[in-house]
Amino acid sequence: MKLKSVGLVINYEKKNARETAARLIDWLEAKNIRVYVEGGSGKLGEKEDLSGCLTEKSLKEVNLLISLGGDGTLLRAARLAAAADIPVLGVNLGGLGFLTQIGTENLEKSLTRLEEEEYFLDQRMMLDCSVKRGGKELKNFVALNDVVIGKGAIARIIKLATYVNNDYVVTYSADGLIVSTSTGSTAYSLSAGGPIVHPHIEAMILAPICPHTLSVRPLIIGGEDQVKIVLESEEKEIMVTIDGQEGFILKAKDEVIVKKSERQTCLITFGEKNFYAILREKLGWSGQAIAN
């Protein structure tokens, strides 16, 4: 990949984030590659002088985003990258990471492989989420992992009338509902009892959170389907949350519409590990393969 300018999305709370960013900027500067840093505010010290601030305008000049952190940092970078139709390289700074597979020990080596075009592009489905009130659209979001409707501090269950392609499915009585992509099936949906779905399968998972009726189970639907969720509860502090990072307060009778987005996340990988190897590592699965 011919790199002319690169954007950095950094989680400064992660250990060694500043040091890793400085290493990265050193490598990019030696290659005469322009660097833009999200929220550039002097957190990198003198390295800040080598970079510009990653803004909506400068994002148009960037041909790669690099996230330094965990999966949450990559999710934020993915939404930025999808808007500009550019790929994302995720660097894991520790912790459980299904999306950020490159470690800091392999950083310069991975960048060299990227420069020599020894990489793969992994396309991931995203979701469009719109919130309607009285037939008028109030907000629109894009998600890579999931759209979640949940309660705040209230103790009561909430009621969510759910439709797929305008066909009524069920009114969930639960703490909330997760609408997940296959990529997000290993995130919050998994914690709510949802299935693990291979990320190359275009599907959506409806996973209720602590449902009041035990017979209500997670449901997998097609990637081209459209989900409409109508909030039937009057309680306050009910929110729709995007990838666990953006949110909007809902009111009774609000509609949340979720469907496949025209945008995609394009992840850069180097093919060392397949999806099942990542599952074994991240979930601690045991067992040994039997030779054929």
Is the domain of 33 the same as that of 152?
Answer: no
**pLDDT band for position 47 (50/70/90)?**
low
Is the domain of 205 the same as that of 190?
Answer: yes
Is the domain of 190 the same as that of 205?
Answer: yes
Please report how the helices 107-115 and 17-30 are oriented relative to each other, as an axis angle in degrees rounded to 10: 30
What is the per-residue pLDDT for 288? Answer: 72
Rounded distance, CA 130 to CA 242, Å?
Answer: 11
- The arithmetic mean of pLDDT across residues 117-124, rounded, is 94
Q: Which domain holds residue 147?
A: 126-263
- Tens of pLDDT, residue by residue over 224-273, are 999 999 999 988 889 999 999 999 999 999 999 999 999 999 999 998 77
What is the per-residue pLDDT for 241? Answer: 98
Looking at the predicted structure, is the pLDDT value of residue 43 above 80?
Answer: no
The enclosing domain of 251 has a CATH number of 2.60.200.30
Is the domain of 89 the same as that of 69?
Answer: yes
- State the chain's maximal CA–CA distance in angstroms: 61
Residue 115, C-beta contacts closer than 8 angstroms, at least 6 positions apart: 1, 3, 31
Q: Report the percent of the chain where pLDDT is more than 70.
A: 93
Choose, from 71, 146, 243, 254, the residue flagged as catalytic. 71
**pLDDT band for position 292 (50/70/90)?**
low
Residue 204, C-beta contacts closer than 8 angstroms, at least 6 positions apart: 127, 179, 180, 181, 220, 221, 222, 223, 225, 227, 258, 260
Looking at the predicted structure, is the pLDDT value of residue 41 above 80?
Answer: no
How many domains is the chain partitioned into structurally? 2
Higher pLDDT, 285 or 167: 167
For residue 57, give the H/E element and its range.
Answer: helix 56-59
What is the per-residue pLDDT for 222? Answer: 98
What is the per-residue pLDDT for 55? Answer: 84
**pLDDT band for position 89 (50/70/90)?**
very high
Rounded distance, CA 48 to CA 21, Å?
Answer: 10
- Catalytic residue status for 71: yes
Flag whether 54 is in a domain.
Answer: yes
Flag whether 186 is in a domain.
Answer: yes
Flag whether 292 is in a domain.
Answer: no
